[in-house]
């Protein structure tokens, strides 16, 4: 007879405890512990979430090596983020805010893969098949190899998998799927953990590329236990501002590729459209000859990207001035302000400072430092920057400008978009020749950069 156990789980991080806590010991969240009833059945075998391969251990030198073949999804930006395509048998978790476009992206991906001759099974636990058909008609996703079903029971889904034998499987979403053997409600910590383990067994055992859609909490993290992200092979976040039409796809975990890549999409009436040249998108509304506006060349993985960085310095009547940064590290901005005060003699202690990356993009690499310094100095002195200058470089505490990586790609992107000058670290000019149509100005200190940019 099954033994009933009562446990408490944290809905934010999945912390498990035999008693209730007001504050989760794992993540510190308040009122996040929920009660769940677990039936423990004594069995001779192993848990349903783990499968036994009956393989014997081998010396690593005797194992045949070979690159895992990838399946092209038909969407270049998604292939870029995944590392060149999706790996057969891999388990991918896609998270994002409600209404951001996760289902739209995966339905378009399913249609592209179905058009290439592969069988695709799209399982929706939140929409009926007719609702899915209406969205597919709007997106033009009507391929005969695309199978759609509305099912929440994991047993019914597995029966459909055995019947269709798909090459690509989409579960939308993992919070709606339930396992009858687990007594807790769908979306609970136990259900999400056990169902994910079951899908992992199916994906690895049958070689089906599987994508799970996950809801996110109000903090932006994927809902459910933190173990969920450890179980899957790849974790993607679909981000975007509701007031902007474009969406960003980032990988925070990828066992088969880099996590530095970023895919950019634009939402329109026909669905999501790839943005092949993001620099033009972020610079399309840039004002020319305005104080505080600077163009910075950044790297997102292997892709160079030009973004407008704006700064506003204004006097304040309060004893403690405000410091606000959007898109860049707030602490990094405070460091640059301290360097400008100490090394450049700018009195910013009674000035509010605001820094913003236009378009809502986020950059965290140190190459943005010099552009922040130029924008702040330009706004403080009320001297406009040159409209066809690109600035990048890392700033040290003594006011020196340090070299950054992948300079050639940044300069070529600036030349392709018609910029005339690039202000960059002097040490980054060694060992290569830049394009003839663009002037390269090397600087060693912040003072040298300001003398060139604000002359």
- How far apart CA 146 and CA 166 sit, in angstroms, is 9
Residue tagged 């809502």 (tokens): 360
CA nearest neighbour of 445 among 403, 384, 395, 410: 395
pLDDT of residue 36: 78
pLDDT of residue 42: 47
Percent of the chain with pLDDT over 90: 62
Average pLDDT over residues 19-45: 74
Q: Give the H/E segment covering residue 34.
A: strand 33-40
pLDDT in tens, 232-279: 999 999 988 766 778 889 899 999 888 888 898 988 888 899 988 888
* Structure-block tokens of residue 347: 């009195």
Helix, strand, coil % in the chain, rounded to nearest 5:
30, 30, 45
- How far apart CA 12 and CA 184 sit, in angstroms, is 17
Sequence-distant (6+) residues with CB within 8 A of 83 are 70, 254, 256, 257, 258, 261
Transcribe 383-409 into DSSP letters: -PPPTTEEE--EE-TTSBEE--S-HHH
- How far apart CA 314 and CA 300 sit, in angstroms, is 32
Flag whether pLDDT at 46 surpasses 50. Answer: no
pLDDT of residue 48: 44
Percent of the chain with pLDDT over 70: 92
Q: How many residues does the chain have?
A: 455
CA nearest neighbour of 193 among 202, 182, 180, 204: 182
Q: Which segments are annotated as binding site for ATP?
A: 96-103
The 10 Å Cβ neighbour count of residue 431 is 7
Check residues 122 and 29 and name the one with the higher pLDDT.
Answer: 122
pLDDT of residue 3: 62
- CATH class for domain 281-453? alpha beta
The 10 Å Cβ neighbour count of residue 219 is 9
- How far apart CA 24 and CA 22 sit, in angstroms, is 7
Check residues 382 and 64 and name the one with the higher pLDDT.
Answer: 382
The mean predicted confidence, pLDDT, of the chain is 88
β-strands 120-124, 168-172: how paired?
A: parallel
Is residue 210 classed exposed, middle or buried when 0-12, 13-18 and 19+ CB atoms within 10 A define those classes?
Answer: buried
Q: Where are the beta strands (DSSP E) in 283-420?
A: 293-300, 303-315, 323-326, 351-357, 389-391, 394-395, 401-402
DSSP 257: S
Sequence-distant (6+) residues with CB within 8 A of 289 are 384, 385, 387
pLDDT of residue 61: 86
Q: Which segments are annotated as binding site?
A: 96-103
Q: How would residue 206 be classed by pLDDT, with cut points 50, 70 and 90?
A: very high
Flag whether pLDDT at 318 surpasses 50. Answer: yes
Q: Which residues make beta-bridge pairs with 251?
A: 236
Average pLDDT over residues 134-160: 94
Cis peptide bond upstream of 102, omega within 30? no
Domain boundaries, the chain: 3-40, 72-275, 281-453
Average pLDDT over residues 338-355: 94
The 10 Å Cβ neighbour count of residue 172 is 23
- How far apart CA 374 and CA 422 sit, in angstroms, is 13
pLDDT of residue 423: 96
Flag whether pLDDT at 47 surpasses 50. Answer: no
pLDDT of residue 282: 81
Q: Which of 68-77, 210-219, 373-382, 392-401 has the lowest mean pLDDT?
A: 210-219
* Structure-block tokens of residue 85: 């395509």
pLDDT in tens, 93-135: 999 888 889 999 999 999 999 999 999 999 999 899 999 999 9
pLDDT of residue 17: 86
pLDDT of residue 41: 47
Q: Which of 12-16, 63-67, 158-162, 271-275 has the lowest mean pLDDT?
A: 63-67
Q: Does domain 72-275 have CATH number 2.30.22.10?
A: no
Flag whether pLDDT at 141 surpasses 80. Answer: yes
**Sheet of 389-391, strand order:** 323-326, 351-357, 303-315, 293-300, 389-391, 421-425, 439-443
Residue tagged 């910075």 (tokens): 296
pLDDT of residue 220: 65
Average pLDDT over residues 201-223: 84
CA nearest neighbour of 344 among 454, 455, 445, 453: 445
Check residues 14 and 324 and name the one with the higher pLDDT.
Answer: 324
- How far apart CA 359 and CA 357 sit, in angstroms, is 6
3-state secondary structure 35-64: EEEEEECCCCCCCCCCCCCCCCCCCHHHCC
pLDDT of residue 359: 77
Flag whether pLDDT at 403 surpasses 60. Answer: yes
């Amino acid at each position: 007879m099954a033994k009933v156990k009562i446990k408490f789980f944290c809905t934010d991080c999945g912390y498990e405890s035999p008693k209730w806590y007001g504050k989760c010991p794992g993540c510190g969240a308040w009122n996040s512990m929920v009660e769940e009833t677990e039936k423990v059945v004594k069995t001779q075998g192993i848990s349903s979430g783990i499968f036994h391969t009956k393989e014997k251990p081998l010396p690593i030198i005797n194992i045949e090596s070979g690159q895992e073949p990838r399946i092209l999804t038909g969407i270049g930006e998604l292939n870029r983020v995944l590392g060149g395509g999706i790996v057969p048998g891999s388990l991918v978790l896609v998270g994002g805010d409600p209404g951001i476009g996760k289902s739209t992206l995966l339905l378009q991906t399913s249609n592209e893969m179905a058009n290439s001759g592969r069988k695709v099974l799209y399982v929706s636990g939140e929409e009926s098949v007719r609702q899915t058909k209406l969205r597919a008609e709007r997106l033009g996703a009507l391929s005969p190899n695309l199978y759609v079903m509305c099912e929440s029971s994991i047993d019914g889904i597995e029966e459909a998998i055995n019947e269709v034998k798909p090459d690509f499987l989409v579960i939308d979403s993992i919070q709606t799927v339930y396992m009858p053997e687990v007594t807790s409600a769908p979306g609970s910590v136990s259900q999400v953990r056990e169902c994910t383990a079951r899908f992992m067994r199916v994906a690895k055992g049958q070689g089906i590329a599987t994508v799970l859609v996950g809801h996110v909490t109000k903090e932006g993290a994927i809902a459910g236990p933190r173990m969920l992200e450890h179980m899957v092979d790849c974790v993607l976040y679909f981000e975007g501002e509701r007031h902007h039409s474009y969406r960003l796809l980032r990988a925070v975990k990828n066992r088969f590729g880099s996590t530095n890549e970023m895919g950019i999409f634009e939402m329109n009436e026909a669905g999501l459209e790839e943005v092949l040249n993001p620099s033009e998108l972020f610079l399309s509304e840039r004002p020319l000859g305005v104080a505080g506006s600077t163009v910075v060349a950044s790297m997102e993985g292997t892709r160079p990207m030009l973004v407008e960085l704006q700064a506003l310095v204004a006097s304040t009547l309060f004893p403690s001035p405000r410091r606000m940064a959007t898109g860049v590290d707030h602490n990094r901005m405070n460091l640059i302000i301290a360097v400008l005060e100490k090394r450049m003699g700018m009195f910013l202690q009674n000035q509010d400072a605001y820094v913003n990356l236009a378009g809502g993009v986020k950059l965290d690499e140190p190459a943005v430092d010099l552009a922040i310094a130029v924008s702040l100095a330009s706004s403080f002195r009320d001297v406009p920057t040159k409209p066809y200058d690109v600035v990048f470089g890392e700033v040290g505490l003594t006011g020196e400008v340090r070299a950054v990586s992948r300079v050639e790609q940044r300069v070529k992107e600036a030349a392709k978009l018609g910029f005339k000058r690039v202000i960059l670290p002097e040490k980054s000019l060694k060992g290569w020749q830049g394009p003839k149509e663009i002037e390269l100005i090397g600087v060693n200190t912040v003072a040298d950069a300001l003398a060139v940019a604000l002359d």
